[in-house]
């Protein structure tokens, strides 16, 4: 395949090959986690992000009618909606910048590629509020700088160009531990940067003509999970009556400018034939969700704006009947929740990312409208956020990510929504999310509530107890595989071989004279009597503090503790 130019067909193959190579290495990349905890997810997040785009590219390939503009749309929009975790969001922004730069060309040369690499880095850096060197951003920047050097030198041979760009990026990746001390302590390179290298190397192998299986049939990539109401899934609510029977979803690949008037007219039409409507547009695509009794009408209307892809039509009445066989009457009652359009409109609604049936119940009790199942081991995607937003019938929707690795995806969803005001409260832990929603005051303005919630979560210190998956030395502590660890907001606070002792040591490190409340959430693997024993120890040692114990039911983390 060696050539001095790349057309759309070749670029599609290179992209699919890069995606497949990343997918094959995802578990190895997961293991590059700085902390030796059993929730490394960088490889998984990046794989799910790129595979969302790869499926759209594969669909284009199957039609045999592929051009650069449609390919760039598939890569950009697919990765944008499928982005999960910080590394996935940054990867999607790299693709977004790259495709913006090349979409106008039928054939790509070295100078065009160099400009596209530069645009990719510029776009990704802008998406991160406080870019940090020693990460995937630094590796991408190293590749872009070398690409420009080679283009300026007059190089035309793409094979040599790719080889030198990848070599330089590899050198930068190896230097990441010198830029981020925490990487050096853990003895690993940046996992996001390594993920990017696998995409580049897979693409280069395809360019050299190596035989690669580009089929996606064997790739296990789950469909977007969407939001979950406090009572159950979106598409099969246990209602006795279903007014509109077909859940219809598709993507419009726009062939014209989709202005605000068009968007409002399209929504009005969908409202005339159905309910539970979500229409989210960016510059190239429109994501559509509607419950209707005649999917064909929605499809015919959508075809006026462009070609359709990712079409899915589910018979909710049939699904409902099947579910009734599985649910007891008690479960059915607890799962009953109307669709967004059937709920009374609110001034403000809440979406929380949560995991663990106990923590879910806590958020529900505090008035959270929708819960997105996810967290450490499965970060929700941008599309999951968009689906959740569409299910909350409110003028303003507050999103509580409750995980530092989910904030970027929430911000990305915020930028794509036009018909509601979206406020992302940057909660990094579940206790911060609980504190934020507790401090919401209906009589205050959106901006006043945002300021108040941000102020209150800054006073919450969180610790989480889990186990080590490998030997390492970090934060001045020697850790053996199987040890229990107490991890605070900024590092490892305690290590040992007994859960209760490690938890108490962690709490000791978290405490200060200003702390008045200690909240303990025990996980799915902790017995209630052991949790009660821990509470007694904490109450005895910190008699001046209120101590609350609640069942969280969370996996992986035996205890989540907050002090405020």
Does 325 or 519 have the greater pLDDT score?
A: 519
| Residue whose C-alpha is closest to residue 195's, from 27, 79, 375 | 27
Are 408 and 481 in a shared domain?
Answer: no
Are 441 and 302 in a shared domain?
Answer: no
Q: For 266-280, what is each residue's pLDDT tens digit?
A: 888 888 888 767 777
Give the number of other CB atoms < 10 A from CB of residue 153: 8
CATH number reported for the structural domain that contains residue 381 in this entry: 3.40.50.510
Order of strands across the sheet that contains 370-373: 370-373, 346-354, 394-400, 421-424
| The pLDDT value given to residue 285 | 82
Q: Kindly tell me if the per-residue pLDDT of 516 is higher than 60.
A: yes
Report, in angstroms and rounded to the nearest whole number, the Rg of the chain calculated over CA atoms.
Answer: 25
**What residues contact 277, with CB distance under 8 A and at least 6 apart?**
267, 270, 271, 289, 290, 291, 341, 390
For residues 432 and 462, is the Cβ–Cβ distance under 8 A? yes
Structure tokens at 407: 């904030």
Confidence of residue 52 (pLDDT cuts 50, 70, 90): confident
DSSP state of 381: B
- Termini Cα distance of the chain: 61
Can you tell me the distance from the alpha carbon of 420 to that of 247, in angstroms, rounded to the nearest whole number?
22
- What pTM did the predictor assign? 0.70
Does residue 199 form part of some domain? yes
Q: Among 395, 430, 457, identify where a domain stops.
A: 457
Are 45 and 178 in a shared domain?
Answer: yes
| The pLDDT value given to residue 377 | 57
Does residue 216 form part of some domain? no
**What residues contact 242, with CB distance under 8 A and at least 6 apart?**
316, 317, 320
Give 527: exposed, middle or buried? Use CB within 10 Å, 0-12, 13-18, 19+.
Answer: exposed
Does residue 214 form part of some domain? no
| The pLDDT value given to residue 464 | 93
Does residue 212 form part of some domain? no
| The pLDDT value given to residue 227 | 38
Q: What residues pair up with 488 in beta bridges, in sequence order?
A: 491
Give 546: exposed, middle or buried? Use CB within 10 Å, 0-12, 13-18, 19+.
Answer: exposed
Percent of the chain, pLDDT > 90? 41
Does residue 230 form part of some domain? no
Across the range 375-385, mean pLDDT stands at: 77
CATH number reported for the structural domain that contains residue 280 in this entry: 3.30.70
DSSP state of 212: -
* Alpha helices for 64-190 (secondary structure H): 68-82, 85-102, 110-127, 136-152, 158-179, 181-186
Q: Kindly tell me if the per-residue pLDDT of 74 is higher than 80.
A: yes
Does 204 or 242 have the greater pLDDT score?
A: 204
Across the range 319-333, mean pLDDT stands at: 46
Q: What residues pair up with 313 in beta bridges, in sequence order?
A: 248
Q: Among 315, 334, 353, identify where a domain stops.
A: 334
Q: What residues pair up with 288 in beta bridges, in sequence order?
A: 250, 279
**What residues contact 480, with CB distance under 8 A and at least 6 apart?**
468, 471
Q: Which of 41-50, 309-318, 323-332, 447-456 has the highest mean pLDDT?
A: 447-456
Query: Phi and psi dihedrals of 553, rounded to 5?
Result: 75, 15
| The pLDDT value given to residue 383 | 87
Structure tokens at 45: 């997040």
Are 393 and 509 in a shared domain?
Answer: no
Does 376 or 185 have the greater pLDDT score?
A: 185
Q: For 340-377, what is each residue's pLDDT tens digit?
A: 555 677 889 999 998 888 999 999 888 899 999 876 55
For residues 4 and 156, is the Cβ–Cβ distance under 8 A? yes
Are 117 and 51 in a shared domain?
Answer: yes
Q: Do the bridges between strand 559-563 and strand 461-467 make them parallel or antiparallel, or are there none, so unpaired?
A: antiparallel
Q: Kindly tell me if the per-residue pLDDT of 327 is higher than 80.
A: no
The domain in which residue 448 lies consists of 343-457
Are 34 and 128 in a shared domain?
Answer: yes
| The pLDDT value given to residue 320 | 53
| The pLDDT value given to residue 228 | 39
Across the range 63-69, mean pLDDT stands at: 80
Give the number of other CB atoms < 10 A from CB of residue 83: 34
| The pLDDT value given to residue 40 | 62
Can you tell me the distance from the alpha carbon of 194 to that of 200, in angstroms, rounded to the nearest whole number?
10
Q: Among 334, 368, 403, identify where a domain stops.
A: 334
Are 151 and 83 in a shared domain?
Answer: yes
Across the range 54-82, mean pLDDT stands at: 85
Does residue 50 form part of some domain? yes
Across the range 91-118, mean pLDDT stands at: 94
Residue 498, by phi and psi: left (phi above 0), alpha (psi -120 to 50) or beta?
beta
Of the candidate ranges 177-191, 223-237, 332-346, 358-372, the one whose mean pLDDT is the lowest: 223-237
Are 493 and 436 in a shared domain?
Answer: no
Across the range 516-521, mean pLDDT stands at: 91
Number of H helices, E strands in the chain: 21, 18
Q: Considering its fold, how many domains does the chain have in total?
A: 4
Of the candidate ranges 7-11, 114-118, 211-215, 370-374, the one whose mean pLDDT is the lowest: 211-215
Are 550 and 445 in a shared domain?
Answer: no
Of the candidate ranges 312-316, 408-412, 550-554, the one whose mean pLDDT is the lowest: 312-316
Are 287 and 310 in a shared domain?
Answer: yes
Q: Which helix (H) or strand (E) holds 478?
A: strand 477-479
**What residues contact 40, with CB distance under 8 A and at least 6 apart?**
30, 31, 32, 33, 191, 469
DSSP state of 229: B
Does residue 35 form part of some domain? yes
CATH number reported for the structural domain that contains residue 195 in this entry: 1.25.40.340
Can you tell me the distance from the alpha carbon of 352 to that of 435, in angstroms, rounded to the nearest whole number?
12
Can you tell me the distance from the alpha carbon of 378 to that of 85, in angstroms, rounded to the nearest whole number?
9
Q: Which helix (H) or strand (E) holds 261?
A: helix 260-273
Confidence of residue 1 (pLDDT cuts 50, 70, 90): very low
Q: Kindly tell me if the per-residue pLDDT of 225 is higher than 60.
A: no
Give 512: exposed, middle or buried? Use CB within 10 Å, 0-12, 13-18, 19+.
Answer: exposed
Tally of CA atoms within 13 A in the half-sphere of 357 that contains its CB: 4
Confidence of residue 315 (pLDDT cuts 50, 70, 90): confident
DSSP notation for 46-94? HHHHHHHHHHHHHHHHHHT---HHHHHHHHHHHHHHH-BHHHHHHHHHH
Q: Kindly tell me if the per-residue pLDDT of 239 is higher than 90.
A: no
For residues 463 and 488, is the Cβ–Cβ distance under 8 A? yes
Are 12 and 125 in a shared domain?
Answer: yes
Query: Phi and psi dihedrals of 548, rounded to 5?
Result: -110, 135
Does 333 or 510 have the greater pLDDT score?
A: 510
CATH number reported for the structural domain that contains residue 468 in this entry: 3.30.1180
DSSP state of 457: H
Can you tell me the distance from the alpha carbon of 472 to that of 483, in angstroms, rounded to the nearest whole number?
11
| The pLDDT value given to residue 130 | 77
Across the range 388-393, mean pLDDT stands at: 89
Can you tell me the distance from the alpha carbon of 77 to that of 87, in angstroms, rounded to the nearest whole number?
17
Are 254 and 325 in a shared domain?
Answer: yes
Confidence of residue 17 (pLDDT cuts 50, 70, 90): very high
Can you tell me the distance from the alpha carbon of 475 to that of 35, in angstroms, rounded to the nearest whole number?
10
Q: For 22-35, what is each residue's pLDDT tens digit?
A: 998 888 888 887 76
Q: Kindly tell me if the per-residue pLDDT of 325 is higher than 60.
A: no
Q: Kindly tell me if the per-residue pLDDT of 560 is higher than 90.
A: yes
Average pLDDT, the chain: 84
Percent of the chain, pLDDT > 70? 87
Does residue 486 form part of some domain? yes
For residues 230 and 368, is the Cβ–Cβ distance under 8 A? yes
Q: For 133-172, what is each residue's pLDDT tens digit?
A: 999 999 999 999 999 999 999 999 999 999 999 999 999 9
């Amino acid at each position: 395949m060696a050539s001095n130019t790349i057309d759309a067909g070749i670029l599609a193959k290179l992209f699919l090959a890069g995606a497949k190579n990343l997918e094959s290495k995802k578990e190895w990349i997961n293991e590059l986690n700085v902390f030796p905890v059993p929730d490394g997810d960088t490889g998984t997040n990046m794989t799910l992000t790129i595979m969302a785009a790869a499926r759209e590219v594969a669909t284009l390939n199957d039609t045999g009618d592929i051009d650069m503009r449609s390919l760039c749309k598939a890569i950009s929009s697919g990765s944008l909606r499928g982005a999960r975790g910080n590394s996935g969001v940054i990867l999607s922004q790299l693709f977004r910048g790259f495709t913006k730069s090349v979409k106008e060309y039928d054939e790509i040369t070295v100078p065009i590629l160099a400009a596209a690499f530069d645009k990719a880095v510029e776009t990704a850096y802008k998406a991160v509020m406080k870019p940090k060197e020693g990460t995937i951003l630094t590796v991408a920047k190293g590749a872009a700088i070398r690409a420009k050097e080679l283009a300026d030198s007059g190089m035309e041979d793409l094979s040599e160009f790719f080889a030198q760009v990848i070599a330089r990026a590899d050198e930068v990746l190896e230097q990441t531990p010198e830029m981020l001390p925490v990487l050096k302590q853990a003895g690993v390179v940046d996992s996001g940067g390594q993920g990017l290298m696998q995409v580049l190397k897979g693409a280069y192998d395809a360019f050299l003509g190596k035989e690669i299986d580009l089929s996606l049939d064997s790739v296990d990539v789950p469909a977007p999970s969407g939001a979950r109401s406090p009572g159950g899934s979106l598409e099969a609510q246990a209602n006795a009556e279903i007014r509109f029977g077909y859940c219809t979803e598709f993507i419009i690949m726009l062939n014209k400018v989709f202005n605000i008037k068009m968007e409002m007219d399209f929504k009005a039409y969908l409202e005339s034939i159905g309910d539970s409507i979500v229409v989210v547009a960016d510059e190239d695509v429109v994501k559509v969700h509607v419950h209707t009794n005649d999917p064909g009408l929605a499809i015919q209307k959508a075809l006026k704006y462009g070609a359709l892809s990712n079409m899915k039509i589910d018979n909710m009445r049939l699904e409902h009947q099947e579910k009734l066989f599985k649910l007891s009457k008690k479960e059915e009652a607890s799962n009953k929740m109307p669709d967004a359009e059937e709920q009374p409109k609110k001034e403000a609604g809440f979406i929380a990312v949560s995991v663990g049936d106990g923590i879910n119940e806590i958020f529900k009790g505090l008035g959270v409208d929708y819960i997105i199942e996810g967290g450490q081991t499965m970060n929700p995607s941008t599309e999951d956020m968009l689906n959740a937003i569409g299910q909350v019938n409110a003028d303003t929707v507050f999103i509580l990510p409750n995980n530092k690795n989910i904030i970027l995806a929430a911000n990305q969803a915020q930028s794509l929504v036009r018909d509601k005001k979206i406020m992302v409260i940057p909660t990094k832990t579940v206790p911060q999310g609980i504190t934020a929603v507790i401090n919401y005051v209906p009589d205050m303005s959106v901006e006043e509530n945002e300021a108040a919630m941000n102020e209150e979560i800054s006073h919450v210190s969180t610790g989480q107890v889990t186990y080590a998956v490998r030997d390492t030395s970090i934060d001045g502590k020697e850790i053996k595989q199987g040890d229990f660890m107490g991890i605070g907001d900024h590092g490892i606070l305690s290590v040992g071989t007994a859960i209760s002792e490690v938890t108490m040591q962690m709490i000791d490190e978290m405490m200060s004279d200003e702390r008045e409340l200690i909240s303990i959430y025990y996980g799915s693997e902790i017995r209630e009597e052991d949790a009660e024993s821990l509470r007694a120890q904490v109450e005895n040692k910190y008699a001046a503090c209120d101590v609350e114990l609640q069942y969280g039911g969370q996996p992986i983390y035996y205890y989540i503790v907050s002090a405020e």
